[in-house]
Structure 1
């Protein structure tokens, strides 16, 4: 018995430009890359025109390994008026930065460092800064990040 395979197009997670191609697995799902940064991490930009600046990761795009850092890599976007008689506007939007161009940053020691992984006595796997030994992942931090995210979503839905 012979089975005919039909290639399906990739399901998009983010709108791509015409020239961007997304790598797919055989089941037509996108290949997602592992990154050393997560939402809520403090990072330092190590290359590009924003080099040396420090900010917080707001959003991740795993299919092309890019991150959006708060108030960095600002692009101007010209918005058309939605209703007749209403003026158009120019909006500043944060653009993505490749994850290889950012390093995790320690606020206490004021130093950028690579990330390492280790398993604690209780069996939990955490990330830590190699230069300082400071543990990045903690339950309190994640709870705070998710609460902030929910609050911003509620504020956006009300507006």
Structure 2
């Protein structure tokens, strides 16, 4: 089953050491079922110092598994995502908690 999260969605981490944090999805990696969330799961790497990076340290957001996050729905609460076909025949994402359209 595919990932029901899109880039630009606001999500809340529900499991793991980053539990409770919210952020916007920057990237979705469907092959591994992971998402990169801005400001969440920050990691630090050491690299050879260069002229651009004098210190040799850089930080980045590491991916989080999609099962550990929930999309924040239109009502501001974490919700599961479902699908339905609207009257014009287009497939629309729906928040399971409130029943409101998300797209």
Give the TM-score, by structure 2 length.
0.90
- Alignment match, 1:122: 88
Question: Which one of the candidate residues 81, 89, 97 is aligned to 1:131?
Answer: 97
Structure with greater proportional strand content: 2
Structure 1 gap segments, 5+ residues each: 1-32, 138-159
Q: How many residues align?
A: 102
- Alignment match, 1:72: 40
Residue 59 of structure 2 is aligned to residue 88 of structure 1: no
- Alignment match, 1:58: 26
- State the 1:87 CA deviation: 2.6
- State the 1:103 CA deviation: 0.5
Contact preservation (8 Å) 2:50, 2:56: no
- State the 1:34 CA deviation: 1.1
Write the mapping of 1:95-110 to structure 2, written as runs, cut at 5 A.
Answer: 95-106=62-73, 108-110=74-76
- State the 1:92 CA deviation: 1.6
Give the TM-score, by structure 1 length.
0.60
Distance 2:94 2:47 in 1: 42
Distance 2:82 2:94 in 1: 5
Structure 2 gap segments, 5+ residues each: none
Distance 1:132 1:74 in 2: 32
**Higher gyration radius (CA):** 1
Report runs of 4+ in structure 1 exceeding 6 Å deviation. none
- State the 1:88 CA deviation: 3.0
